Every structure is written in structure tokens, then in C-alpha cells.
């Protein structure tokens, strides 16, 4: 595993105040993440419902990965 892959893996496991997502995955990743958080705020989701929604999205992306350009 190279250093970038190791940093990406660490990022996906831990969220820190200094957020290098754009450096590791590109600016689109940050933009989409911000949009998701804003949508969850607009929908007034609780932490548990927001987390469940993200888990559902993750599972769906994983399931559809053969059909999506990710």
C-alpha cells in the first residue's frame, strides 16, 4: 500500500478537524459531502437517522458499483 492509499484509508476511518478530503480524493468529494450534510440539516434528521441514511447510501453504492462510474 502506498502512502496516498494509506492516507485515504486513515481518512475513511477517522474524521479530524483538519479535513484533507479534497487533497486525497479531489474537490468533488468535498463538494458532494457538503451537499449531503446540508440536505440532512434541511431534512432535520437526528444523528441516528442521518447515520442510517449514510449507511444505506454506502450499501446501495456498494451494491450498484458494477453499474456506477465511481
Tens digits of pLDDT across the chain (70 residues):
788 888 777 777 776 666 778 888 888 988 999 999 999 999 999 988 998 999 999 889 888 887 766 5
Per-residue confidence (pLDDT) for residue 69, from 0 to 100: 66
| CA count, 13 A, side-chain hemisphere, 25 | 17
With b for 16 or more beta-carbon neighbours within 10 A and e for fewer, the 52-64 pattern comes to eeeeeeeeeeeee
Distance CA 61, CA 1 (A): 24
For 49, phi and psi rounded to 5 degrees? -70, -40
What pLDDT is recorded for position 17?
Answer: 62
What is the reported pLDDT for 3?
A: 84
Task: Give the predicted TM-score (pTM) of the model.
Answer: 0.68
What pLDDT, on a 0 to 100 scale, did the predictor assign at position 62? 85
Amino acid at each position: 500500500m502506498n502512502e496516498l492509499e494509506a492516507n485515504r484509508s486513515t481518512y475513511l476511518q477517522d474524521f479530524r478537524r483538519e479535513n484533507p478530503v479534497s487533497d486525497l480524493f479531489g474537490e468533488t468529494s468535498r463538494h458532494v459531502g457538503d451537499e449531503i450534510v446540508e440536505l440532512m440539516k434541511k431534512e432535520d434528521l437526528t444523528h441516528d437517522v442521518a447515520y442510517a441514511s449514510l449507511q444505506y447510501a454506502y450499501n446501495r453504492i456498494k451494491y450498484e458499483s458494477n453499474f456506477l462510474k465511481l
